[in-house]
């Protein structure tokens, strides 16, 4: 398919989708819309369920639904892309109001617009530069600006924000960890073993203990691993079972549109 | 103990202002970054399990390294990715990078692979490739299991993946020898195990941030995971195994002393708590 025909097809699909959605929106009442969504949700769940459980044949192993996985996945990606657009629209609405009415902290909203426009512009620009391989020693300026924005600002800012957690955790652990009961003492002992066992200083502190099967167990790195593998694992497995059963029940409720608290149940 | 301004020394030990705690932690970090005290790194069974899985991977198949992380966890997942890529290049295993979420991870891991690949003289498209960001979680994995070229489409640079020499003969999940999931997100492992490792018996290993790793020990215990890197510690252990100490080894020195500081602070606070409680008891009597 030529580039022009592809663009034409995309535009026609978009226009067709909008017209269809508009007609459905006008024709169907809240009850009809709810039924439509329930049917689409059920059909989607049924498709993936049947494809997964239906016997497969040949190489590569397929059943009668396998070939449709890709187009259905693409449809899902398109729907998700629309939600990104909706998110951007909502953000622009909120921050646009803040800037227009000069609400307290409006300059933060302005920073959002500047950051979004800059990243969007230079991100797309550098993508379509099609630089030769290996990349030239002196980068073209749109690519250089993109690198500054992404690698020089975005990445370190995100990393710095999360690294602040280390300071909060240190302070919180010092303030909150008090031996007020036998359980708290037990928890603190386990915490100290794991904290020291997870870092090289633990191995260094108990370096004098030989690596024999009996004595070696008391080396801090071994003791820490024992706590994680033998005490933590059963507890985690119990939690996992509970989560899995809950997820199964939740999936069934969503699939059969029984879940309350959705937009339509609120509306009705 | 002398009493000052109505508070004993031990009472004050329970209430060290938080900015002193921050300052002490910052001082320990800077001290260890500038003057590191080298400590022994002892690889755990979880780390050696991952290394052995890479070693055992057949040469005619590909290893998938799914790098589902971003800058927020880069301090741990970055060195993990670097150590795993180092191991693949060193053991002459061909691999592909892919990313499902968050999208930033695909560029960050691509930069790491390019830098490490340069040290080994690795060629893109022959020794390794980047399949890029693929949206759709479970859908991507289901599609990948059945038809890899169709599911992948274009690589990170926007070229059709099928044109890469590395992709010759790659059809479905049977062309994959091992999947290594490196992530700071929960939920990714469950998808890989549920849709790929379980049904197709593809060996699976993973690398997590230290805070989320305890939740994944059941998979290691059951044998569904061949190995696991736990935070920066796992990365440092992998660096020790490939004999290329890097940033994770430095991080572990820093983390060692930071843990010691936190333990000392907790002990001080508790000694203060116990002593002031016993004093209150004495006064009451």
CB B7 within 8 A of CB B1: no
Instruction: Assign B212 to helix, strand or coil.
Output: coil
Q: Judge: B39–A232 Cβ closer than 8 Å, yes or no.
A: no
Question: What are φ and ψ of residue A132, in 5° steps?
Answer: -70, 160
Q: Domain of residue A251: give its range.
A: 181-260
Q: In chain B, what are the domain boundaries?
A: 3-35+251-284, 45-245
Using pLDDT thresholds of 50, 70 and 90, give the confidence band for residue A262. Answer: low
ipTM of the complex: 0.84
Joined tokens for residue A75: 């449809």
| Residue A100 included in any domain | no
Residue B109 has pLDDT above 80, yes or no: yes
**A261 compared with B224, residue with greater pLDDT:** B224
pLDDT digits (tens, 9 = 90+) for B11-26: 888 889 999 999 999 9
The pair of structure tokens assigned to B123 is 């060629």
**Do the Cβ atoms of B265 and A173 come within 8 Å?**
yes
| pLDDT over threshold 80, residue B280 | no
Residue B109 DSSP SS3 = helix
Count contacts between A and B (CB, < 8 Å). 156
Q: Which of residues 88-107 of B touch A (CB under 8 A)?
A: 104, 107
B56 touches A at CB < 8 Å = no
Contacts of B176 (CB under 8 A, 6+ apart): B61, B62, B63, B64, B148, B202
The pLDDT value given to residue B54: 97
Nearest-angstrom CA–CA distance, A240 and B189: 13
Q: Considering CB atoms only, which of B71, B150, B220 is closest to A70?
A: B150
**Chain segment A168-214, per-residue pLDDT in tens:** 999 999 998 898 899 999 999 999 999 999 999 998 999 999 988 89
Whether cis (ω within 30° of 0) applies to the bond prior to B102 is: yes
Per-residue pLDDT, averaged over A1-11, amounts to 87
Look at residue B187 in the predicted model and tell me its pLDDT.
86
Is residue A102 assigned to a domain?
Answer: no
What pLDDT score was predicted for residue A267? 57
Instruction: Return the higher-pLDDT residue of B219 and A84.
Output: B219
Stretch A209-236: mean pLDDT: 92
The answer to whether residue B5 scores a pLDDT higher than 60 is: no
Does residue B270 sit at the A interface (CB-CB below 8 Å)?
yes
| Residue B1: band (very low, low, confident or very high) from pLDDT cuts 50, 70, 90 | very low
- Report if residue A50 sits inside a domain: no
**Number of structural domains found in chain A:** 1
A229: in domain = yes
Residue from A51, A174, A180, A216 whose CB has the most chain B CBs within 10 Å, to mutate: A174
The whole-angstrom separation of Cα B128 and Cα A263 is: 47
Among A176-180, A223-227, B6-10, the minimum mean pLDDT is found in B6-10
Contact B100, B133 (CB under 8 A): yes
A266: pLDDT confidence band, cut at 50, 70 and 90? Answer: low
Output DSSP code: residue A139. -
Computed on alpha carbons and rounded to an integer, the radius of gyration of chain A in Å comes to 28
Q: Which residues of A touch B210 (CB under 8 A)?
A: 198
Average pLDDT, chain B: 91
Q: Summarize the confidence of residues B26-33 as an average pLDDT.
A: 94
The yes-or-no verdict on residue A115 having pLDDT over 60 is: yes
**High-pLDDT (> 70) share of chain A, %:** 96
Render pLDDT for B136-185 as a digit per residue (tens, 0 to 9). 888 889 889 888 998 898 999 888 999 999 999 999 999 999 999 999 99
Task: Report the length, in residues, of chain B.
Answer: 285
CATH number given to B45-245: 3.40.50.620
**Does A210 reside within a domain?**
yes
pLDDT at A7 over 70: yes
């Amino acid at each position: 398919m030529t580039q022009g025909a592809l663009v034409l097809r995309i535009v026609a699909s978009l226009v067709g989708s909008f017209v269809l959605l508009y007609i459905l929106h006008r024709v169907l009442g809240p009850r009809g819309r709810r039924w439509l969504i329930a049917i689409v949700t059920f059909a989607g769940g049924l498709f993936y369920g049947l494809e997964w459980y239906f016997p497969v044949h040949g190489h590569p192993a397929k059943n009668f639904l396998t070939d449709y996985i890709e187009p259905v996945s693409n449809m899902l990606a398109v729907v998700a892309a629309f939600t990104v657009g909706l998110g951007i629209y909502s953000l622009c609405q909120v921050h646009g109001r803040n800037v227009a009415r000069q609400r307290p902290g409006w300059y933060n909203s302005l920073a959002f617009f500047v950051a979004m426009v800059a990243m969007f512009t230079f991100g797309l620009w550098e993508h379509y530069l099609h630089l030769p391989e290996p990349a030239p020693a002196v980068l073209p300026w749109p690519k250089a600006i993109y690198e500054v924005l992404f690698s020089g600002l975005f990445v370190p800012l995100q990393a710095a924000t999360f690294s602040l957690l280390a300071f909060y955790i240190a302070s919180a652990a010092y303030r909150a960890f008090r031996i007020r009961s036998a359980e708290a003492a037990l928890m603190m002992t386990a915490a100290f073993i794991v904290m020291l066992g997870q870092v090289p200083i633990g191995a260094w502190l108990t370096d004098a203990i030989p690596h024999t099967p009996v004595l070696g167990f008391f080396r801090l790195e071994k003791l820490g691993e024992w706590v994680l593998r033998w005490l933590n694992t059963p507890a985690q497995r119990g939690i996992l079972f509970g989560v899995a059963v809950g997820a199964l029940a939740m999936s069934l409720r969503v699939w059969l549109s029984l879940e309350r608290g959705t937009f339509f149940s609120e509306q009705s | 103990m002398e009493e000052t301004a109505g508070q004993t020394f031990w009472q004050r030990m329970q209430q060290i202002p938080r900015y002193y705690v921050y300052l002490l932690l910052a001082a320990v970090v800077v001290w260890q970054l500038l003057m590191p005290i080298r400590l022994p790194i002892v690889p755990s069974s979880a780390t050696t399990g991952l290394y052995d899985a890479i070693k055992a991977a057949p040469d005619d198949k590909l290893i998938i390294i799914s790098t589902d992380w971003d800058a927020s966890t880069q301090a741990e997942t970055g060195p993990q990715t670097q150590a795993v890529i180092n191991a693949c290049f060193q053991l002459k295993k061909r691999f592909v990078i892919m990313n499902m979420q968050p999208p930033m991870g695909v560029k960050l891991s691509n930069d790491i692979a390019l830098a490490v690949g340069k040290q080994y003289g690795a060629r893109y498209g022959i020794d390794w490739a980047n399949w890029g960001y693929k949206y759709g979680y479970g859908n991507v994995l289901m599609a990948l299991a059945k038809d890899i070229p169709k599911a992948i489409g274009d690589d990170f640079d926007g070229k059709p993946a099928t044109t890469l020499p590395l992709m010759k003969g790659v059809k479905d999940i049977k062309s994959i020898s091992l999947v290594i999931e490196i992530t700071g997100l929960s939920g990714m492992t469950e998808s890989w195990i549920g849709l790929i490792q379980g049904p197709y018996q593809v060996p699976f290993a993973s690398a997590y941030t230290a805070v989320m790793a305890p939740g994944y020990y059941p998979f290691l215990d059951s044998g569904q995971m061949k190995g696991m890197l736990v935070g920066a510690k796992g990365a440092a252990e992998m660096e020790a195994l490939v004999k290329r100490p890097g940033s994770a080894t430095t991080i572990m020195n820093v983390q060692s002393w930071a843990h010691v500081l936190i333990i000392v602070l907790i002990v001080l606070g508790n000694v203060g708590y116990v002593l002031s409680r016993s004093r209150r008891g004495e006064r009451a009597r």
